[in-house]
Structure 1
Amino acid sequence: MSVILGTRGSDLALTQSRTIAQALTERGIDVEMVTIRTEGDITRESLSRLGGVGVFAAALRLAMLNGRCHLAVHSFKDLPTAPVPGLCLAAVPERAPVADVLCSAQGRRLSELPEGALVGTGSIRRAAQLLAQRPDLRICDIRGNVPTRLGRVGGLEDGPGDLDAVVLAQAGLARLGLLGRAAEILPTSIMAPAPAQGALAIEASEAALAENSELADALASLNDPTARAAALAERGVLAHLEAGCAAPVGALATTEGSEIVLRASVCALDGSRRASASGSTPLPADDDAAHELGTRVGRDLLAAGAADIADLHAERVGVDPDYFALAPGRDRFGAARS
């Protein structure tokens, strides 16, 4: 019986899904890929204003529950933290680089961008941390796939070239063979990545795994226990904060000796304030231990005033439409420049 792998239609999603399909094929699994359109693909609204969590994952999850496909490959950072009955996290493969990168006109680094430069991102987390380093920047909300976003910067790809720079995930550029477009890999000390950034999540129907032990074994062989524990710890922070994947929360778990050390932060939207917390747990760490670490760090973030610094539920209630500067001639909060 052929296993059906559901995927989004973007270049990055297809590339990620093909990589997993090839790995399963090498393990004797016959894989058929089916493209499923998602709300995140078809809407033109701001990614941070789509009105619900997990917009990229919802259609794929529904397809698995309805039997249209047996498994799906997600960018782990895009998944809601709440579990879905009938689905399981079958594997987290080896993690790609976690950092964000700056892609700019003329290869300028963040410190070299001109005053008032217009920088594109669809992420409030990135926008807030950019402003923490460069309060003079104007932030432009952008949508589209990676080549489309690169095209917004003059000289990088075909496109309008109306921005001075964009910020993207290093992992996505690397998977598409476009890392050469990056002018600077931003240090995680100033640009904390999204929880589970760089990690893939292979989600599967529990019924499909129960019926196909060969598929279950093949997926288990793709799982990287350390990458899984790190990603789950980071996502545990989000879960405790009850924050969505678009909230201004950064988290990174790293292996240090015999421990996983988790550092997380919440940044004010204008970059003026930040709350930070950290914790650790021994290796090896199972799913429960990783989640408990995230819960502890999330609790410490709240004690440090995270809820006062930023609206952690912004993804659910909508983002101030004046937050992003949508065109040159407006300040970074959208107001007309005098």
Structure 2
Amino acid sequence: MTALAPIRLGTRRSALAQAQSGHVADALAAIAGRPVELVPIVSEGDTNRASLSEIGGTGIFANRLREALIAGECDILVHSLKDLPTAVPAELVIAATPQRADARDVVITRGGTPLHELRHGSTVGTGSPRRIAQVRRRAPHAEVVDIRGNVDSRLERVSSGELDAVILAAAGLTRLGSETTLRREELGLTEWPTAPGQGALAVETTADAPAELLDALSRLDDLDTRIAVTVERAVLAGLEAGCQAPMGAHAVVTGDSIRLRAVVYEPGGGRRIGLDVSEPLNRGYIRRNGSGNGADAADGADPVRTARELGDSAAHRLLEQGAADLLP
């Protein structure tokens, strides 16, 4: 790449993907002093309209993009981290996790009735197995409708009266700047943990990317976000469950400690197995630019490694309590 050559950012074609990629592109251009151009790529998840609960969600939004990156069709990718498989190909590296947005889910209704107070037989739309199980626990009297589609189409199904409610990610609504007269109910992360990595983005590039690109990307990285999502994704990996598994995990870094809340749900919503744990973090570190592994501490302690170990330990504890019986 020449000094003035644009950085090619591969992204899905959806409005949300374009919006969040645009935010990263603007930030990266300011850091690198080079233009960043979006390269739209069509993923399997964009063309296969079957239910996510039927086809499984592992990699359907990411695999084609990763193929394009490895083939040299683009220089970097921006993913919604919750859609990204936990296994990273050897040729690639997650070079940055920018500061996380709101990780909560929200219920969208016409009149503002809380989810648990919706009348008997109300229709609630979502295509996520986790959200389906959570709705069945929170509002067992409601009817869950398995849906796909972009944010605007889901909002329209509520506005038109076709559905009484839909469950959406708060971060997506914010990034799109969606304006609506519909009412929203924020769902607390303690009782309603969301998908591992929800609200966070992952900027991925090749492991042999130019040093100047890796350096620029490292300046987009937020360490607290990387630590938190590392814990959550380690739980998912330890359970050997895909991105669409009926489980939620949310971690938050506060000072020198990290707290994790993880729950595995029975698909029908009847049972759940959960835990809530905290772990101290060593904050002394030296950043290793472009490593994709976050930070190395000067005294040998690595907060990202600690996070990974906490997530792996949590997964083992969930399995010991019978979580494998609830996972597909």
1:120-160 deviations in whole A, cap 9, x for unaligned?
001010110111111111111111111111111125xxxxx
> 2:18 pairs with 14, 20, 36, which one?
14
Counterparts of 2:169 and 2:314 in 1: how far apart (Å)?
24
8 Å CA contact 1:279–1:296 kept in 2: the answer is no
For 2:310, give the aligned amino acid: L
Counterparts of 1:201 and 1:182 in 2: how far apart (Å)?
30
1:140-192 deviations in whole A, cap 9, x for unaligned?
1111111111111125xxxxx41110000011011111275442001122211
Note if 1:303 corresponds to 2:320.
Answer: yes
For 1:303, give the aligned amino acid: E
> 2:228 pairs with 224, 227, 230, which one?
230
Flag the 1:52–1:247 CA change in 2: closer, same or farther, 3 A: closer
Q: CA deviation at 1:291?
A: 1.3
Flag the 1:199–1:52 CA change in 2: closer, same or farther, 3 A: closer
Structure 2 portions without partners, runs of 5+: 284-301
* Partner residue, 1:121: 126
Q: CA deviation at 1:52?
A: 5.8
* Partner residue, 1:136: 141
Equivalent residue of 1:183, what SS? strand
- Greater displacement, 170-179 / 195-204: 170-179
- The alignment yields a C-alpha RMSD, in angstroms, of 1.5
* Partner residue, 1:275: 273
Counterparts of 1:51 and 1:253 in 2: how far apart (Å)?
24
* Partner residue, 2:51: 46
* Partner residue, 1:111: 116
Note if 1:219 corresponds to 2:223.
Answer: no
Flag the 1:95–1:182 CA change in 2: closer, same or farther, 3 A: farther
Note if 1:206 corresponds to 2:207.
Answer: yes
* Partner residue, 2:186: 185
Structure 1 portions without partners, runs of 5+: 156-160, 315-338
Percent identity over the alignment is 48
> 2:258 pairs with 234, 253, 260, which one?
260
1:200-225 deviations in whole A, cap 9, x for unaligned?
01111123x2x2x2221111011000
Q: CA deviation at 1:280?
A: 2.9
For 1:149, give the aligned amino acid: R
Q: CA deviation at 1:278?
A: 3.1
> 2:86 pairs with 81, 85, 93, which one?
81
For 1:91, give the aligned amino acid: A
Q: CA deviation at 1:112?
A: 2.9
* Partner residue, 2:173: 173
* Partner residue, 1:240: 238
Equivalent residue of 1:203, what SS? strand
Counterparts of 2:304 and 2:9 in 1: how far apart (Å)?
24
Q: CA deviation at 1:105?
A: 2.1
- Greater displacement, 295-304 / 181-190: 181-190
Equivalent residue of 2:192, what SS? coil
8 Å CA contact 1:233–1:293 kept in 2: the answer is yes
> 2:41 pairs with 36, 40, 45, which one?
36
Counterparts of 1:139 and 1:170 in 2: how far apart (Å)?
20
Give the TM-score normalised by the residue count of structure 2. Answer: 0.89
8 Å CA contact 2:246–2:264 kept in 1: the answer is yes
Q: CA deviation at 1:268?
A: 1.1
Counterparts of 2:179 and 2:120 in 1: how far apart (Å)?
26
Note if 1:151 corresponds to 2:156.
Answer: yes
